[in-house]
Amino acid sequence: MKIKNISIIGAGTMGCGISQVFLQNNYKVNLIDISKNILKKSKDKIASSLSKLVYKEKITEGEKLKYLSNIKTSTELNLVKDSHLIIEAVGENLDLKRGLIKKIEDIVSIDVTIASNTSSISITKLASGAKNPKRIIGLHFFNPAPVLNLVEVVKGKNTSDKTVSLIIDIVKDIGKEPIVVKDSPGFIVNRLLIPMINEAVLIYSENISSKEDIDKAMRLGANHKMGPLGLADFIGLDICLSIMETFYKDLDNPKYKPAPLLKEMVLSGKLGRKSKQGFYKYR
């Protein structure tokens, strides 16, 4: 059976972007969140993004309207009951995600695949206590999801090969490139990327160089598209901190200790682009 009806839970940045990816590949999408306001903003954001593609002549106006007709938004979790794939994209909190998975299992049949768009949390831990841990898998998209092609497919200790194969086929069907990763904190990309950002924060806090020159060093010296501090602002300093804290706890290695300045900035509400101020200021 070809899966074409999916539900995405969490209408924040990632849930919104993932929804657009599936819509543009002719899937029917249920987008679910506890906030009606967030759902409205997400649907408006998808419509705006599609309008830009029409302007650039990458899609037609008719295609845009077709994609938008295939999305339903709701605050009711029961909407997932007829979906063949469910992707949770809520905040990076183990208890929140685990509790949500249990609620989903009470609604859907035993063979429905449940994927988590987590950037650092163990899929094995998420699946602990689940009725059918074989069907639970990590599906890590990157921001912005409509633009970045990589998707990490994370196999938990109890995830079945059948589930992995199904998800690989879906990732390819939506035009993305899957890589299969064993369950480990941060998987591949964030295990490499977030500690680099943390080190850049330490370098800045030690007054070794200005934030501008730290970013310039990595753009020009390592050919990165963005410098690490600017990238931290883009990702969200709270997310960077959460991932580093997960590494520090789960890998039990002092090299993953979060930079004190990173903690201070998050506590003061300087979260990056989303709060209009991080290492840089934004309008």
**Does residue 245 carry a catalytic annotation?**
no
State whether 159 and 208 are in the same domain. no
**Does residue 26 carry a catalytic annotation?**
no
Of 135, 153, 182, the position where a domain reaches its end is: 182
**Does residue 190 carry a catalytic annotation?**
yes
Distances (CA, A) of 170 to 47, 162, 259, 280: 23, 13, 38, 38
Other CB atoms within 10 A of residue 141 CB:
24
State whether 42 and 126 are in the same domain. yes
pLDDT for the residue 193: 96
| Candidate list 88, 152, 198, 242, residue with the active-site label | 152
What pTM value is reported for the model?
0.89
Q: Is residue 279 part of a domain?
A: no
For 227, phi then psi, to 5°, come to -75, 160
Chunked into runs of 10 residues, the chain (283 residues) has average pLDDT values of 85 96 96 96 96 96 97 96 94 91 94 92 91 95 94 96 96 97 92 97 98 98 97 95 92 95 98 96 94
Of 142, 164, 182, the position where a domain reaches its end is: 182
Which domain CATH number covers 42?
A: 3.40.50.720
| Candidate list 116, 122, 190, 198, residue with the active-site label | 190
Strand 136-141 to 150-155 pairing: antiparallel
pLDDT for the residue 91: 87
State whether 43 and 121 are in the same domain. yes
pLDDT for the residue 3: 76
State whether 81 and 148 are in the same domain. yes
Of 134, 162, 182, the position where a domain reaches its end is: 182
Q: Is residue 85 part of a domain?
A: yes
**Does residue 224 carry a catalytic annotation?**
no
CB under 8 Å, gap of 24 or more: what pairs does 54-57 form?
none
Q: Is residue 282 part of a domain?
A: no
pLDDT for the residue 119: 85
Three-state secondary structure call for residue 277: strand
Distance CA 256, CA 193 (A): 12
| Candidate list 83, 120, 140, 242, residue with the active-site label | 140
State whether 171 and 195 are in the same domain. no
Q: Which domain holds residue 222?
A: 191-273
The number of folded domains in the chain is 2
| Candidate list 7, 117, 119, 242, residue with the active-site label | 119
Q: Is residue 124 part of a domain?
A: yes
Taking the mean position of all CA atoms in its chain, how far away is CA 276? 21
pLDDT for the residue 36: 95
Which domain CATH number covers 267?
A: 1.10.1040.10
State whether 57 and 175 are in the same domain. yes
State whether 177 and 226 are in the same domain. no
pLDDT for the residue 117: 95
Distances (CA, A) of 206 to 79, 200, 209, 232: 51, 10, 8, 18
